[in-house]
Chain A
Amino acid sequence: MIRIIPFFLLIFFHPAIYSTGAGENIPDSSHKIHPGYARLMPKVIAVLPMDNLSLEPDVENFLYDEVYNRLLSKGYIRISVESVREKMERLGIQTPGQIAGISPQKLGKELNCDAVLIGQIDQSGTIHAGVYDAVAVSCSLGLMNCADGELLWHCQQWRAAHRQWSLDPFNAIINTFGHENASRKDRVAWLVQEMMKTLPEGPVRVVNDDLLNQAVEIQTEPAK
Chain B
Amino acid sequence: MKTHIRISGILFFLIVWGSCTYTPSQVQYSTPKVVTKEIPQSLKYRPAEKKLVAFVGMENKSIYAADSLWDIASRLLTTRLVEIGYFSVVDWEKMKQNYDTVSLKNASLVSRPTDFVTVRDQLTCDLFLGGAITYYDVSQTAQVSAISKSKTMTTNVRVDLWLQDAQNGEYVSAASGSGRAEQQFAGGLLGGSIGTWDINVANNALHIAIDEALVKMLTMYKERGENRHRADSAYRTAPPAPSLPGQAGMQVSSVPQHPAYPDRGLPVTNFSGFRRVSNKWGLVMGVSRFMDSRVNPLDYTAKDALAMYQYLVDPAYGKFAPEQVFLLTDDRATSFNIKLALDIISRHALPEDLVVIFVSSHGTPGDMDVEGVGYLVTYDTLVDSLYATAFNMSEIVSAVTKRIKAQTVVTLADACYSAGSFRDVKFLTVKGAKDLIVDAGDSPVQREMVKASLQSRSFGIPDAIVRQMSSGSGRVFITSSRVDEQSWESDRLQHGFFTYYLLEFLKTKGEQASVQNSFAYIQKKIPEEVMKEKGKPQHPVLGMKDVKGEIRLDIPPVANP
Spell out A's residues near B (CB within 8 Å): 1, 5, 8-9, 11-16, 18-19, 22-23, 51-57, 90-98, 100-103, 106, 120, 122-131, 136, 169, 172, 177, 180
Contact = CB atoms under 8 A, between A and B. Distances in A.
29 contacts: A1-B4, A8-B15, A11-B15, A12-B17, A13-B18, A19-B21, A23-B23, A51-B196, A52-B196, A53-B195, A55-B151, A55-B187, A55-B192, A57-B151, A92-B62, A92-B64, A95-B138, A96-B196, A101-B66, A101-B67, A102-B67, A122-B27, A128-B20, A128-B22, A129-B23, A131-B18, A136-B24, A169-B13, A180-B146
A77 to B, nearest CB: 25
A180 B142 CA distance: 16
B18 A126 contact: no
Q: Which of B23, B69, B142, B189 has the most CB of A within 10 A?
A: B23
Contacts of B136: 92
A95 B21 contact: no
A7 to B, nearest CB: 9
B69 A98 contact: no
Contact of B23 (A19, A52, A95, A98): A19
5 nearest CB pairs, A to B:
A101-B66, A97-B197, A125-B24, A92-B63, A92-B64
A180 B17 CA distance: 18
B102 interface: no
B15 A127 contact: no
A18 B194 CA distance: 23
Nearest to A93: B64
A136 B137 CA distance: 32
Interface string B11-43: 101110111111111010000000000000000
A57 B142 contact: yes
Contact of B196 (A53, A56, A90, A136): A53
B153 A95 contact: yes
A94 B67 contact: no
Contacts, number: 127
A126 B24 contact: yes
A150 B443 CA distance: 49
A100 B199 contact: yes
A174 B138 CA distance: 38
B140 interface: yes
Nearest to A128: B22
B18 A14 contact: yes
B68 A101 contact: yes
B31 to A, nearest CB: 16
Nearest to A132: B21
B151 to A, nearest CB: 6
Contacts of B103: none
Given A55-B186, A103-B67, A122-B27, A95 B196 contact: yes
A55 B65 CA distance: 27
A11 B198 CA distance: 40
Contacts of A15: 18-19, 21
B65 A92 contact: yes
Given A1-B4, A92-B62, A95-B153, 11 more contacts: A11-B14, A11-B19, A13-B18, A54-B24, A93-B64, A95-B140, A98-B64, A102-B65, A128-B189, A129-B21, A136-B23
A172 B68 contact: no
Interface string B325-346: 0000000000000000000000
A128 B138 contact: no
A134 B313 CA distance: 89
A18 B150 CA distance: 27
A120 B138 CA distance: 18
B146 A177 contact: yes
Contacts of A22: 23
A73 B24 CA distance: 33
B80 to A, nearest CB: 22
Contacts of A97: 196-199
A55 B149 contact: yes
B266 to A, nearest CB: 37
Interface string B54-79: 00000000111111110000000000
A188 B186 CA distance: 22
A100 B200 CA distance: 12
B374 to A, nearest CB: 21
B167 to A, nearest CB: 38
Nearest to A130: B18
Contacts of B122: none
Contacts of B144: 55-57
Interface in B173-200: 185-187, 189, 192, 194-199
Contacts of B22: 127-129
Contacts of A18: 21
